[in-house]
Each structure stands twice: as C-alpha cells, then as structure tokens.
Amino acid sequence: MTRDACDAFVLFGATGDLAHKKIFPSLYAMENRGHLNVPIIGIARNEMETKDLVERARDGIQTYGEGELDESVFKRLAGRLSYVSGDYSDAETFQKLRAALGKACCPLHYLAIPPTIFEMVSQALKASGCAENASVVVEKPFGRDLESAQELNRVVHAVFPEDRIYRIDHFLGKEPVLNLNYFRFGNSFLEPVLNRNYVKSVQITMAEDFGVQGRGAFYDEAGTVRDVVQNHLMQILAILAMDPPSTGDEEALRDAKVRLFNSIKPMTNEDIVRGQFKGYLDEPGVKPDSRTETFVALRLHIDSWRWADVPFYIRAGKCLPVTSTEVVVEMKQPPQQLFEDCHRSERNYFRFQFNPNTVIAIGARAKKVGEDMVGQQIEMLAQHEEPDQMAAYERLIGDAMAGEPGLFARVDEVESAWKVVDPILDQSTPVHSYEPGTWGPSEADGLLHHNAIWHEPVLKPVEELVNA
C-alpha cells in the first residue's frame, strides 16, 4: 500500500561518508531522470554554509557517481539544497530545521547517523513538530543482535508508526535480487522442482577480493555475520526458499519471508566456521587480539515440508580470490544411472549470479557430437544483462520518497532474521587463520555433507557469456 509522498527530504549526517558516496550520487541520478521534485535539507554538526554542502555534493557525485557530471542537472540539484548546522542534542537545531521545512507537511527524514543517537534525534524531531506526518529512513546496521534490534525498534516506534519506517538494505534495491523474485514466481517450470524431492543442497556465496579498506574500527565491531549475513544474505535466502506469497501485495511478500525465517532451525556452534585473513590484526583500528571473523561458513536447515533434510550453506568473506555474489541450487541425480559417463559430481543446477554479472543459468548434461553415447556437462545461459542502470540507493530513496515500503524490511522481518543468527554471535567458536587470496580456512569443508564441495563463482567476460 502506497503512503503519502514526501514533500521535503531531510538528510541527517549530510557531511558524512554515506551521504558523500551514496546518497548525493543517487539524488543527482534522480534529478537527471526527472524523478526529484522536493527540497533537500542537509543537517549535520559541521559549521558550514549551504554553498559548502553543494561543493561536497559535487565532489561525491564526480567521485562516486556514474558518468560525467552534467552541469545543468547539477545546477537543478544544487538549487534544491539547503543546510542546517547544529548539535543533535540542542533543541535549537531542530527549531532551525522546523523553520527550514517551511510549508512542508510530509517530510522524509533520512538518518545517516550512528544508531546510538537514533533515540535522541527521534525524540527531538517529535518535540519540535518535525515528526508530525513524517516518515523516516533508518540505515543498517539495525542493531548488533536481537536484543539491540528490539530496543531500536522500540525507540523508533515511540515517534514513528511502523508504516512510516523504512529500514534500508541496499541489496533489496538491486536489480538482480528483484529479478530472482520475479524469475521464481513469474515462471511455472521452477516452482515444481524447488523442494526436497529434487534439490540436494543450496549454496550462497558472497566473496570479496579486498579487505576492510580502512574501515578496521567499524568492521572489528561488526564482523562478517553482522555485516552481510544477517541482512543481505538472509534476504537472498528468503527470496529463494520462501513459499509463494498469497498475493502480489508487498505485505504478503514480507509475510512469506517472516514465515521462512521462523522455520529455520536454531543454529549451533557445529553449524559455523569462522576465519580471519592473515594481516587483519595489522589493520588500523583493529584490536591486536581481535577474534572478529572476516570469513564465515554456515550450515542452515529449514524445518518445513518443502525443505526438510536439504542443507543450505552460506559462505562469505573478505580477501577471497574473487568479488562475486552467487547462488547455486544443486539438484539430485536422476533415479537411474543409464549412462556410464555421468559422473556423480556432475549434476543439474540452477545458478543465480548477482555480481559482477547478472546471470541466470542452468547446468545440465548433453550428448557430445559423434557416434558414441557420451555426454558432457554444459551450462545453458537463461539470462544475461548489463549492470543495472538504476543504482540500488537511487531506487530505494525514490521508493521511500514516494511512500512505497515494499523494498524495505518490516519490523518482524528484521527481528526474525536476527533470531536465526543470534545463537552464533558470541564468538565462542575458534577463529581459523587463512591466507589472503584463498577460499578461507579448510575447516569450512567440514560443514558439507556427503562429499559435497563448495562451488566457486563462475566469472566470465560479458562477451563470452553473451556468445556462449
């Protein structure tokens, strides 16, 4: 259900890295498409003027945006910008914000600020009247565990109703993730086999070939499970494994995700292997005795009629051989082995790649040309597209401005995802060292059942994919 569209966009933390790298380039892209029609009020502690914010926005767009900066487009965007400086603990700051809002009656507040000050800012918005009929965008991480997520929800709900809260996870705005949802339920051939009768296992991999990139202090407080598993990869898992929503309505989709999360069996220490790349302890901001994982392998089981006894594996980490996010659904062997050359290690599969390419592929066996009844493993490319022209943040900011909550996480969705990983957050399991450029510690192989192997993402040039 669509809510009121906003008539002003308030950006808290307007001078921070997130605004610089993601939000201003997204606002510029919206302006370029003609999708931006509201004033933008930046607010931060820094003592500066609107012209300074305009120049910082320019730098962010030129450095992190797509393509060359069009001065006529930027001029229109700059004309929407204004700036309010002040301390978030000072009521006068919010009176200045109220004055800057003018006649706006449905503002959208984007909290690009640490969660530790959500309560202070939310209460100040309420006291100043800036929260009346307003909506709020909340950035991840939304909590560090189930308890803190529940507390953050209490804090935000004290000021904003649930239908005006947009918890942002940029993965939900990515075209390949949206395409997975469409591909599953827009076709009839996949659904009949996506269950325990035909699926042997499911693997989800999110690999990054770089380290913490100067964010050692932040990453050391988070780790891989909190940084990408609880949010990004759990969302992919839900879209892939959930039962069909009862309708195409956004709330029905959210309901289906929650039911899926609630059906995952509680994880134990036997279901996780953690790793840390060599050299991590030398990163600035990292504690010298840190036990924070930069790699994790997980084994999950979904307690449902559809997925009973099918293992789901998640593997994610930094300083791995490639940067890629990919899902492989491995199918069971045919009930009879009619051809001797069909190796047990070669199975049918569905492969969904989200990064670096958008790929949907089907693995199968086909006969080689010739006299003999001999086959080979082939891959049929179901779809390949150029990278999405609309960045995830652009899509999500646009939806929040329009009052469309479908691509944002609902309160029970967030909390039920935390329940899945909460038992393994205590870092009581060993942290195994691994060499940068490898696929993590060898101990991760012990999670796999029945002599299974980890599937490495298939990276091919665009031309090879198209001409395959």
Catalytic residue numbers, as ranges: 232
Q: Assess contact for 37 and 4: CB atoms under 8 A.
A: no
- Provide the CB-side half-sphere exposure for 192 (13 A, CA): 3
20 vs 261: CA distance, rounded Å: 34
By C-alpha distance, which of 197, 267, 224 is closest to 424? 267
Query: Do residues 300 and 265 lie in contact, with contact meaning Cβ atoms separated by under 8 Å?
Result: yes
Region for residue 363 given its phi and psi (left: phi exceeds 0; alpha: psi -120 to 50; beta: otherwise) = beta
> Do the bridges between strand 431-434 and strand 272-277 make them parallel or antiparallel, or are there none, so unpaired?
parallel
Which of 211-218's residues contact partners 24+ apart within 8 Å by CB, and which partners? Answer: 211/277, 211/279, 211/280, 211/283, 211/294, 211/318, 211/319, 211/436, 212/280, 212/283, 212/286, 212/294, 212/318, 214/284, 215/285, 216/283, 216/284, 216/285, 216/286, 217/284, 217/285, 217/286, 218/285
- Other Cβ atoms less than 10 A from the Cβ of 17: the count is 11
Which tokens go with 409? Answer: 């996480």
- 212: tokens are 């913490």
In this structure, the number of other CB atoms found within 10 A of the CB of residue 374 comes to: 12
Q: How many other CB atoms are found less than 10 A from the CB of residue 127?
A: 13
- DSSP state for residue 308 in the 8-state scheme: T
